[in-house]
Amino acid sequence: MSCAPLKDNRNSLLMQASLESKIALVGLNRRELDTILNVLKEPSFRGQQLFGWLYRSRVDSFEDMGNIPSGLRKSLEEKYRIHPLKLIHVTGSTGESTRKFLFELQSGEKVESVLMKEGKRTTICISSQVGCAVDCDFCATASMGFQKNLSVGEIVDQFLLVSKESTAPITNVVFMGMGEPFLNYDRVISAADLMNAEKGIKLGAKRITISTVGITPKINRYAEEKHRYKLAISLNGASQEKRLKTMPIAKKYPLNDLLVAIDHFSSRSRHPVTLEYVLMAGVTDSKEDAQKLMTLLSGRRCKLNVIPYNEIGGKYKRPGDERIEAFIKVLEKAPFPVTVRWSKGTDIAAGCGQLAVMESSVNN
Ligand code: SF4
């Protein structure tokens, strides 16, 4: 073995180590970028330029930042990296309507996002945590346990990196991937703000939906803070007893408190809340369940989204089509809008509640 390859390996290892210790710029807002540039004694307009390169032009290297002087590009590159995430695997080919993206964090953990295309609408389903502590009985992510909260950059970077792989501009974001967004509240709101920012990604507030399992103190806070992003809440049962069957979190945040929080949100928001209801065979799918659901929600300003269960090989099953139709028929008389989400991507385990990172999925 000659010395030259050894030296090359060592250099690349050292470079890798220094890259990993660098702070990522994606995730920083205008004010934070300004602070970095102030320290470097740069004029304030550079902050706007840098913000544009990161979030509007979505460059991958400092070299591509055309109007930033080369000296400044060099100074930035010495201390910072652009992306906090590395895309390591894509399931599904470019033409397919649903594709799943696997990312590695700088700390080594992995998270997934899903891209779904339907007509003019291209939606990314984003993760907010690695794993999840909430432990819903029907959810694949729950089997991972909780590992960590994602940073603002790790959330926003899912959008930026997937947008480069998408054949159409991403029109909608849903926080329905791995994790409970309201248990990483501050970072999720900051990430939504960055995706909504006028001179950056500029996604309309009503195109961003945050979905929670029903963390009532955070729903109340969200209502008080009057955020303009849409809110979805997983109901999955029309009584406290039914919710408890699949969602242990209902013990801490009982249905009655959740209903008060929903009404509070409705009184302060322009958008009706979307209530998600997963249909699981023999658990939540009877005509009586549908009737109870209608009684519970009548008089409330809401939309109901019924989701036939996406099986993950566990004890819960998706009801047959006849049973789903019978359930929906009861709700035809509901005084609130009802939609059925025939979840996309179930064949690649990218449907709602199916995201869980397995080592084998990286090698497929
Ligand atoms: S459904 Fe959502 S909140 Fe429940 S365990 Fe899965 S990821 Fe967590």
Q: Which helix (H) or strand (E) holds 115?
A: strand 110-118
Rounded CA separation 194/26 (Å): 10
Counting residues of the chain whose pLDDT is more than 70, the rounded percentage is 88
Number of structural domains (the chain) is 2
Give residues with Cβ within 8 angstroms of 129, minimum separation 6.
146, 147, 148, 149, 150, 178, 179, 180, 183, 184
Averaged over 207-229, what is the pLDDT? 97
Ligand 1 pocket, 219 CB below 6 A?
no
Please pick, among 125, 136, 302, 352, the residue that the annotation labels catalytic: 352
Q: What is the CATH number of the domain that holds 192?
A: 3.20.20.70
Indicate if 98 and 50 belong to the same structural domain: no
Nearest Cα neighbor of 215 from 169, 184, 246, 172 is 184
Indicate if 50 and 103 belong to the same structural domain: no
Is the pLDDT at 357 greater than 90, yes or no?
A: no
112 labelled catalytic: yes
359 labelled catalytic: no
Indicate if 282 and 234 belong to the same structural domain: yes
Which of 64, 81, 98 is where one domain is finished?
81
Ligand 1 pocket, 139 CB below 6 A?
yes
Indicate if 113 and 126 belong to the same structural domain: yes
Indicate if 69 and 201 belong to the same structural domain: no
Indicate if 194 and 341 belong to the same structural domain: yes
Indicate if 103 and 67 belong to the same structural domain: no
Q: Which atom of ligand 1 is nearest to the CA of 142?
A: 5
Is the pLDDT at 354 greater than 80, yes or no?
A: no
Is the pLDDT at 1 greater than 90, yes or no?
A: no
Which of 52, 81, 110 is where one domain is finished?
81
Indicate if 266 and 349 belong to the same structural domain: yes
Please pick, among 112, 154, 180, 276, the residue that the annotation labels catalytic: 112
Asked whether the beta carbons of 362 and 110 are under 8 A apart, the reply is yes
What is the model's pLDDT at position 351?
Answer: 57
Rounded CA separation 223/173 (Å): 20
Rounded CA separation 161/86 (Å): 9
Is the pLDDT at 11 greater than 50, yes or no?
A: no
Ligand 1 pocket, 111 CB below 6 A?
no
Indicate if 152 and 290 belong to the same structural domain: yes
Is the pLDDT at 362 greater than 60, yes or no?
A: no
For residue 282, give both structure tokens: 């023999």
Is the pLDDT at 335 greater than 90, yes or no?
A: yes
Nearest Cα neighbor of 346 from 326, 323, 317 is 317
Ligand 1 centroid vs 42 CA: distance in angstroms?
44
Ligand 1 pocket, 136 CB below 6 A?
yes
What is the model's pLDDT at position 10?
Answer: 44
Is the pLDDT at 118 greater than 80, yes or no?
A: yes
Tell me the pLDDT tens digit for each residue of 38-74.
Answer: 999 999 899 999 999 999 999 999 999 999 999 999 9
Indicate if 22 and 145 belong to the same structural domain: no
Is the pLDDT at 8 greater than 60, yes or no?
A: no
Indicate if 251 and 156 belong to the same structural domain: yes
Q: Which atom of ligand 1 is nearest to the CA of 177?
A: 7
Indicate if 77 and 139 belong to the same structural domain: no
Domain that holds residue 278: 85-363
What is the model's pLDDT at position 344?
Answer: 64
Rounded CA separation 77/65 (Å): 11
Which of 81, 101, 127 is where one domain is finished?
81
Q: Which atom of ligand 1 is nearest to the CA of 213?
A: 3
Q: What is the CATH number of the domain that holds 24?
A: 1.10.150.530
Ligand 1 pocket, 354 CB below 6 A?
no
pLDDT band at 94 (very low <50, low <70, confident <90, very high): confident
Is the pLDDT at 330 greater than 60, yes or no?
A: yes
